[in-house]
Amino acid sequence: MQRRYYANVSAASNSTNDYTIPNGDRLVITKIIGNASASCCAKCELIWDATGTPEILMSTHGDTLHEFKDGLELIGDGSKVLRIKLTNDSDTSETMGVYYEGILYG
């Protein structure tokens, strides 16, 4: 499974993209890439349970690559959201994004 979300984010705003893991399924993330190098005021985040008790899995103000040797396991309950959040605090629009890959076990 691969998911990516890249967007041109307006000045002083953010953009999000959500994915809900189906109830009882497991997503094992093996790699996360964040791209926000164009501006010091741009931030990319991957957040688990974004609408409940948020846990930031990755956050970068530049370009980053996180690889998980044993995988990062998330268990779906049908309501917890895995959110990509792109934040632009600059006064101009910025293109940024997050890409992650893993295995979904159903």
Residue 63 belongs to a domain with what CATH number? 2.60.120
- Structural domain total, the chain: 1
What's the CA angle centered on 95, arms 22 and 19, to 5 degrees?
Answer: 5
pLDDT one-digit tens code per residue, 43-83:
999 999 999 999 999 998 888 899 999 999 999 999 999 99
* pTM of the complete model: 0.92
Determine the structural domain holding residue 101 and report its residue range.
Answer: 2-105
